[in-house]
Amino acid sequence: MDAPHAPHAPHATFKRRLLKWYRNQARDLPWRLTRDPYRVIVSEFMLQQTQVSRVEQYYPRFLARYPTLEALSRAPASAVREAWDGLGYYRRAENLHRLARVVVDEHRGTIPADPATLVTLPGVGAYTAGAVASFAYERREAAVDTNVARVLRRVFFKGVKREEGRGKSTNRTKEIWALAETLLPRKGRTVWEFNQALMDLGATVCIARKPKCQMCPVQSACRTGKQR
């Protein structure tokens, strides 16, 4: 895979077009209306391996039952499991419940803003840590999940092959995170939009099996899309 470099990676054009598109087309999702870290983290746990449309049904129901981190931390495990019923992957509910207790016991009830601390919490990996830091605290942090990694690979790299050895794959992941960090706008509020925009593009246009390059707002800045 060629490394991205200036003539083939018009970062500024990509960012400008992506943000403009997002400001006109953003999906109207309930967790985008809040900066409450608890509500953001609940949405991020629910969205792991679950479709947005499904989470939209369960998210308000769960929050009606457990409106605060403290309420969740006090709940018995069986009740939390029941509130999660139907969403599947119950390990997420267990982790979220444990996280609530750890935050109450060890962080005075405040979900940390720093990704390095967030990743020490149950069920929180690098992506979720970046997402919470950006979406709840508007910090200047990248949040690279599978969809975002796919978009960045297609836009900025050439000749990407899926089948790679384990070591290479780890290097590639680091490379994509480093790229995502270099792309971040300067202001936290714009980073919030930028990260959301990358997710929307990966979920609705630059989809896994058949990317919709002809209707893509960043096609002119995309190394893969320009060839289609």
Shortest CB 71 distance to ligand SF4, Å: 41
Of the candidates 41, 227, 50, 16, which has an alpha carbon nearest to the alpha carbon of residue 134? 41
152 binds ligand SF4 (CB under 6 A): no
Among 155, 183, 198, 199, binds ligand SF4 (CB under 6 A): 155
Annotation marks residue 138 as catalytic: no
Annotated active-site residue in 44, 141, 175, 193: 44
> Closer to ligand SF4 at the Cβ: 144 or 222?
222
Interface with ligand SF4, residue 219, by CB under 6 A: yes
Under the criterion CB under 6 A, does residue 205 sit at the interface with ligand SF4? yes
Number of residues forming the site for ligand SF4 (CB under 6 A) = 14
The strand pairing partners of 158, in sequence order, are 2
Alpha carbon of 145 to those of 9, 98, 109, 151, 223: distances in Å? Answer: 21, 23, 27, 10, 20
Question: Considering the rule CB under 6 A, would residue 224 count as an interface residue with ligand SF4?
Answer: yes
Q: What span, in angstroms and rounded, lies between the C-alpha atoms of 198 and 216?
A: 12
Binder of ligand SF4 out of 37, 123, 130, 211 (CB under 6 A): 211
Q: Does residue 2 sit in helix, strand or coil? A: strand
CA atoms 36, 42, 45, 51: torsion sign: negative
Choice between 44 and 175, CB closer to ligand SF4: 175
Q: Does 20 bind ligand SF4 (CB under 6 A)?
A: no
Cα–Cα distance, 148 to 130 (Å, whole number): 12
In the complex with ligand SF4, the residue whose CB is nearer, 73 or 147, is 147
Q: Which one of 128, 134, 154, 197 is in contact with ligand SF4 (CB under 6 A)?
A: 154
Stretch that binds ligand SF4, among 55-63, 113-121, 139-147, 204-212 (CB under 6 A): 204-212
**How many whole angstroms separate alpha carbon 93 and alpha carbon 84?**
7
For ligand SF4, the closer of residues 23 and 212 by Cβ is 212
Q: How near is the Cβ of 147 to ligand SF4 at its closest, in Å? A: 11
Q: Which residues are catalytic?
A: 44
Binding positions for ligand SF4, rule: CB under 6 A: 151, 154-155, 205-206, 211-213, 216, 218-219, 222, 224-225
